[in-house]
Amino acid sequence: MCITMKKKIAQQYKDIVQELRKPILIRAGSTVYEWKEGLVQGYKYSPALSELYYSYLDAIYFSDHMEIKENDIKLFTRVVDDYLYITDSLENAMSFIAALTNYRNVNYDKTVVNFSHDTIKYNEEIIFLGYCYNTCTMQVSRANNIYAGQMCYKIAFTVGLSDLPRFIESRIGQSSIPINSHIFNLQYNNEELIWRHIFTTFCLSANKLCTILAILCEEREMEVLLIPYKKKVTVKLTNTILETLTRNKPEDLIFIYCINHFRYLAWLALSLCAKRTPKCSGLVPLINNQLAKNNCIFGKWREHASRISKTGECLRKATKEVCRRNDLRVTFRDFETLPLGFECYHHRKLK
C-alpha cells in the first residue's frame, strides 16, 4: 500500500474515533435525548465506516482496475458500497467481476452488466446513484426508483415553522431537486427526452409541495401558498434548467420554446399530484384554472410573451407556430399521468 493511502486511512480512522466519542443527540419535538446504544440508521458514521473499510480493500482487490495505463479506456468509481466500472475491454471487465467475488456480501440481484455473462444478468441500462445510463443510446435519465415512496416525497421538517413560504422555497428548491448537466444536456440527450426530464422535475417539485401542504396546512391555508410556490420554486427551476441547457448544447443548436410551455408543465404536474394527494384535492379547480391560462400548446390561442425578463417585462412575443409545434404536442400528450412508479403522499397509506 502506498504512503498516501496509509495516511488517508489513518486520518479517517482518527476522525471516526473522535466522532464516536461525542454523544449522539436525538430531538423529538422539543425534547432532546442522548442515544445510548448502537448507531442511528442512516447516520454519518455509516458511510464513514464504509469508506474506511472499502478504500482499504479497493487497494487490495482492484489496484489493477484503478490504474490507468497508456491507451486504456476505463473508469473505476465507488460511492460508499456502490460500484461502477466502465472499460472498453471485455477481458478487463471479466477480470473486475472475478475480483468482485473476493467480497462475500455482493448483492447480485442488483448487479448488472451490458454484455453476456453466465451468472450476472444483462441490461443495457445501468442504474447508478439515482441516474439511468443507456449504454446503447448513451442517453441519461433519472432512475425510476426515485419516484417510489418516501424517496419521492420525503421532506425534512423542523420544530419551528413560522415562515411557510420560505420553508417551501428551501425544501423544494434546487437543493432538493438537482438540476445539472447530467440530464439537462443537449449534447447527448435529444429534445424529446429533455422535455420529459422537465416534466419529471416539475412532478418531483409538485409532489413535495403537496406533501408539505397535506401535513402542515388546513385546506383554507393552501391556496395562498400556490403563489410563493409559483414565484419562488417553479420560476427558479425553469431559469436554472434553461441556463443549464444553454451551457450544454451544440453551438449550432437552438432550443426552441415558449415560457408558457414550462408554466403549463409545472401546473399540469401540480394538478396530477394534487389529485393523488387526498388532502390537496380541493386545490385541483384552482390549479386547473392556472393550467388553462398557460395552455398555449393545446388551448385557445391568446397573445402572450414567449420570453420575459426577471422583472416580468416582455422580451419577445409568442408565435403560434412555436407554441403549437406538432412534435411538442405529441410529446406533451404523454404527460397526462405521472411518471411510471410515481407515488404521492397519502396520510392513511404510510409504510
Q: Give me the tens of pLDDT residue by residue for the chain, a chain 351 residues long.
A: 567 767 777 777 777 677 667 776 665 555 666 767 665 555 566 677 777 778 888 888 888 887 877 777 888 888 888 889 998 889 889 998 988 888 888 888 889 999 999 889 999 999 888 888 888 888 888 887 777 767 676 777 665 567 888 888 888 876 678 888 889 999 989 999 999 999 999 999 999 999 989 988 888 889 999 999 998 899 999 999 999 999 999 999 999 999 999 999 999 999 999 999 999 999 999 999 999 999 999 988 888 988 888 777 888 898 999 999 999 999 999 999 999 888 898 877 655
Query: Do the beta carbons of residue 290 and residue 223 sit within 8 Å?
Result: no
Query: Do the beta carbons of residue 322 and residue 256 sit within 8 Å?
Result: yes
Q: How far apart are CA 37 and CA 6, in angstroms?
A: 31
Dihedral sign, CA of 328, 331, 335, 338? Answer: negative
**H helix runs in the chain, sequence order:** 3-20, 45-61, 63-66, 90-100, 150-153, 164-172, 191-216, 219-222, 226-228, 235-247, 259-276, 284-293, 320-323, 326-332
**Coil, strand or helix at 79:** strand
How many beta carbons lie within 10 A of that of residue 128, not counting itself? Answer: 13
How many beta carbons lie within 10 A of that of residue 55, not counting itself? Answer: 14
The pTM of this model reads: 0.75
Long-range contacts, 313-316 (Cβ 8 Å, 24+): none
Q: How far apart are CA 112 and CA 120, in angstroms?
A: 6
Q: How far apart are CA 107 and CA 102, in angstroms?
A: 13
For the chain, give every residue range classified as CATH 1.10.357: 147-336
| CATH 1.10.238 is right for the domain spanning 147-336 | no
